[in-house]
Structure 1
């Protein structure tokens, strides 16, 4: 009886292995098709983007050429005397601006104001300094008008 059960079990195992192999082959076949489809979609997108970029570049080149042609025509129409007059005006404006900058003298800071802007130590740094000097947390709290628990917390965070 056991031999019959073992043979049936072996046959079922062989059947499941074959079934798993066929499923794996189908899956790999589908994934290859998906990969090929995705690849062709990406290629199509890239081609369409490059065509679009070419068209935009051609339009830009046309605009640049039109602008060059229009400025060349305008330059021919402008008289040389008006150009020199404009140059003189811009030079004068530039000289006026540079004179303004040369005439500027920055304000001299007041020494009394500097004393007010001096660096003030935070409570945490004061606590750490006093702790390094050997004071106990109670003494530091009294000296800085802080709570004992607050001073102990600052010292714990520092350590």
Structure 2
């Protein structure tokens, strides 16, 4: 009987040692995962901070370019007042165009959009004031004029032989412009 108890004791000791080893390995894995996560977190913070520094530097360069354009325009105005020649004016304007083409492109596109919206509004007012053939107007203008007359979207769709959704979208886009 003592041999049986001794044998069970040895087996329990072996199983407990095996369990301790498994727990130790799992704990080490968890610690390695934590360390890896800390490294990844630190790398992400470093990347984010360098990204912010780059953005700040680019913004400072942009501000300097805008200020230089502003100062050159001010100098141009002063020079125009001081009887500067026409060739000098053109060359300074060309230099300004070369400095910040993206800004000028953006400003030009904004001006074109504003001009086009003003033109379309003027065209509609002209069409209302004059007796222009309704069929020659673009679909958008026809729908707008019919809506202005008080017709519903369904009536406009029937009048223009288009879908209700299409007319709805045309009028919605028209309102946003």
TM-score by length of 2: 0.44
Instruction: Choose 1 or 2 for highest CA Rg.
Output: 1
